Structure 1
Amino acid sequence: DIANEIAKVNDERREHKFDHFKFIYHQQRVTEMLKKMPNDKRCYRLVGDTLVEYQVKDVIPMLDTNIKNLEGLETKLNEQLVAKGKEVNEYKEKNHIRFVNEKEFYEIRRNATNTDASTANSATK
């Protein structure tokens, strides 16, 4: 169902965007804090399941690279999202699909019920 697909894409987009921005923000905050520390100070970084010891001067470039990669990933995912949105819109137009709100749904349903009732009354006369 195309409506479910659209809702799913929108939910994933919102969830991903929030988590992604939160992670980038966290990386930037850590980098800012480390830049205020002496370069030879020890720090630790979780790599997989292992806690690895580094010096601040070695970690800062790694974090900067991670931030740049994440921002690049964000751009790529946004482009994919736009492409998927265009694809969905083209499908909707091609197949004459439109979304109705709850009020419109009940109005259509009521009209269909009235039409069915009047057709049944005409047939019995």
Structure 2
Amino acid sequence: MDFATPRRRRPAEAIVPMINVVFLLLIFFLMSAQITPPAPFDVTLPESENDNAARPADTLYMDAQGQLAFNTARGEAVYDAIAARAAPDTPLQIRADARLEAQALARFLPELAARGIAEIELLTGMP
């Protein structure tokens, strides 16, 4: 018979599996997270009662003064960048400031149609 006292585990050995689980969770969340680029300027979305969430797509930004931004293009270069976008069959999302006049947006839409954009989505926020 072996009456020797059982070998005690060191406290560090008990923590190693927990550290492994934490690192695996960290890797999982980093791999599954969707990292979006920051907005080129601050835009306050108009409010809507509709709760349909927008799917990720190409987004055109318009501020209250009518300045345009699309990916890295700014100003007049936006038109060429929109025409050369990777997925022309998907709708173009417009993230316009709530203070932007509707006439300014309406004047902009024929420019998009001339470059082959047939469908747009105007993003809104919840009240």
Q: What TM-score comes out, normalization by structure 2 length? A: 0.24
Higher RCO structure, 1 or 2 (CA under 8 Å, sep 6+): 2
Which protein has the bigger helix share?
A: 1
